[in-house]
Structure 1
Amino acid sequence: MPRLPRPPLRRAARSRTDGLTQVVEPETPNVESVEADGLRWFNIERPRQIDRAWLEEHFDFHPLDYEDVFSRNQRPKVDEYDGYLFVVLHFPVYDKRVNRLNAAELDIFVGPDFLITLPNEALAPLQYVFDRCQNNEDVREDMFSKGAGYLLYKVVDACVDASFPMLRKMGLKLERLEQAIFDEEANREIVRDLSNAKQEIINFRKIVRPQRAALRDLERTKRYVTGELDIYFDDINDASERVWDMLENYREVIEGLETTNESVLSHRLNDSIRVLTAFSVIMLPLTLIASVLGMNVGVPGQGSIHAFWITIAVMLGVLVGMIWWFRDRGWL
């Protein structure tokens, strides 16, 4: 059975400069905690080796779990141990620095009277729930009074629901791309925008796909998800399936937009080629007349100014006739 600590917790160490000598304060675990009704929630954002030492000192978790926490290649899963659950989940996070969708890993230890969350990077929904529990006594009592299973549900549900605003923004982006496909001025950038949108959908699907099985396993777990909590975790699965369905629809939409854009580009290219071909054919008779009269042999009317103007008139007549014929046919 894990041992719950009682000593006060402090944030990560800071360094300060005292005169010309730099004084480095001892590094301490970056552990935040909140407690109510005999249940404690520990949140350790971006865990480091000193945080691992803190966990090993106060809890009897399996060594493989610690390796999974500090591993970068862990898949979503639910592992049951004697006295606790170890849950690994992934959630999409948009990195504004590189304009890319990345997967944030959230490792969770769940026991009868404790919950430990270890996100490998900042998760706004998780921090929002934690701050509410810290700052609002009524919220804290409501979440903690129903046990560790209910608190786990609130954490996972908040992180899953955070996907929907991202999906709505993705949908609005696809709508703008659909309108931009038929805008000639924006056509130069449309191919790159379509590629970026498709990459976002692919990254989102890579995050959500393996998570669906883990959430189903979590719902079937009877250790801390029992009785009335089944319906809560079933709701999380429904939300996850809605996310997946929206991603499937977006994938079909982006593929359709790519096909439509290729058709539009092909149509515009055909129009350009058709116009250039028409002008080439129109100029062909004029080139033929000029070539015949320009041969280094005697031709009728050679040396006559009247023959020159007659030739110009014939060429103009042929030009007007060809243009009228092409327009009548709809080629111009």
Structure 2
Amino acid sequence: MQTIDTGKLKWINIPAPSQGDIDTLEKAYDFHHLDLEDCLTENQRAKIDRYDDYRFLILHLPTIQAKTKRIVYIELDIFISEDFLICLHNGHGYLNELFEQAQNGEGVVKEYMSSGTGFLLYNILNDTFETLFKMVDDLTRETNKIEKEVFQAENNRDMLKDILLLKKDIINFRRIILPQRTVIAQLEHMSFSKQDGDLEVYFDNVVDKIEKIYATLENLYELVESLHQTNESIIFHNTNNVIKVLTVFSVVMLPLTFVTGFYGMNVNLPMQHAPNSVLFIAGLMLLILGSMLAYFKYKNWI
């Protein structure tokens, strides 16, 4: 549990909260026990609960899972009142960096905590959602890379897995980010401290960021969906080419097999005992082969 106290307001950061941290909060503040329980359990939806003396927020933020390098969400729980703001989260890197910057720099404290807790909440959310644009840029670069590889004629690598993983990341990102808009929009009409003033325009700025992120993700999803269909068409086309070659090979071999089988019978056949019978049969087979290939070429089948 880390604390910055300016005398007027207190900012508490609790990464990876334990039962001991929850017990400490329960003794120090008059929080509802269900809210404290929510801080130790995974909640499936973002929400905001209003009480007479504080507000309790649950937000979900997209992040990159260290092991799989895929997009998942972490939960951010916030208790906010007139004189304190408490953030509980499962080790979100940027939130920890933001708090450390505030601890180590008076300028950050002055910028973030010079007004009330509502303005502090705005700064935290605004900077946090601003970092999501970098994740969107990374997805855009990955999409452009896959697009280039899909349309490279000499590229024989199977792109299906890459496309599906990228699509999954975009879907997860969209599913995480959209519900946060509703919660942040509710903050526009709330008052947390007398020092804050009108915060509507500030939280509206955060809502705009969320809408821009979501719109970009929508465009990326449509592009990846098109790449998926294009890749499937290319795979189908390449498969048809392989089948066409195998079919031509089978058709060409059929008359040659007939000729060799015909002259392999244990009966008297024309030219069977002629001195040049082998050359005659080989020439006949080459003539049939050449004629068939020429006909296939004329029909543009090969």
TM-score of the aligned structures, taking structure 2 as reference length: 0.92
Superposition RMSD on alpha carbons, in Å?
Answer: 2.0
Return the alpha-carbon distance in structure 1 between the equivalents of residues 278 and 106 of structure 2: 102
Return the alpha-carbon distance in structure 1 between the equivalents of residues 156 and 48 of structure 2: 47
What do residues 70-89 of structure 1 show as CA deviations (whole Å, max 9, x unaligned)?
12125211111111111111
What do residues 13-46 of structure 1 show as CA deviations (whole Å, max 9, x unaligned)?
xxxxxxxxxxxxxxxxxx2111226111111111
Q: Percent identity over the alignment?
A: 38
Unaligned runs of 5+ in 2: none
Q: State which drifts further: 123-132 or 234-243.
A: 123-132
Return the alpha-carbon distance in structure 2 between the equivalents of residues 214 and 286 of structure 1: 76
Within a 5 Å distance, the mapping from 1:314-325 to structure 2 comes to 314-325=284-295
What do residues 83-135 of structure 1 show as CA deviations (whole Å, max 9, x unaligned)?
1111111101111223232211111111111111111x122222222122212
What do residues 220-253 of structure 1 show as CA deviations (whole Å, max 9, x unaligned)?
3244597542111001001111111122222222
Per the TM alignment, residue 174 of structure 1 is displaced from its structure 2 partner at its CA by 1.3
1:107 corresponds to which of 72, 77, 81 = 77
Instruction: Tell me, yes or no, if the aligned pair for 1:107 and 1:117 is still in contact at 8 Å.
Output: yes
> Structure 1 residues 187 and 316, CA, compared in 2 at 3 Å: closer, same or farther?
closer
Counterpart in 2 of 1:117?
87
Instruction: Tell me, yes or no, if the aligned pair for 1:149 and 1:224 is still in contact at 8 Å.
Output: yes
Counterpart in 2 of 1:59?
29
What do residues 244-289 of structure 1 show as CA deviations (whole Å, max 9, x unaligned)?
1122222222221211111111000101111111222222222222
Instruction: Tell me, yes or no, if the aligned pair for 1:182 and 1:264 is still in contact at 8 Å.
Output: no
Q: State which drifts further: 66-75 or 262-271.
A: 66-75
Q: Does 1:293 align with 2:263?
A: yes
Return structure 1 stretches of 4+ with deviation > 6 angstroms: none
Counterpart in 1 of 2:171?
202
Unaligned runs of 5+ in 1: 1-30
TM-score of the aligned structures, taking structure 1 as reference length: 0.84
Counterpart in 2 of 1:211?
180
1:234 corresponds to which of 204, 229, 236 = 204
What do residues 189-239 of structure 1 show as CA deviations (whole Å, max 9, x unaligned)?
422212221221222222113222212222232445975421110010011
How many residues get paired?
301
> Structure 1 residues 171 and 54, CA, compared in 2 at 3 Å: closer, same or farther?
same
Return the alpha-carbon distance in structure 1 between the equivalents of residues 85 and 215 of structure 2: 31
Per the TM alignment, residue 178 of structure 1 is displaced from its structure 2 partner at its CA by 1.6
Instruction: Tell me, yes or no, if the aligned pair for 2:118 and 2:191 is still in contact at 8 Å.
Output: no
2:102 corresponds to which of 133, 152, 177 = 133
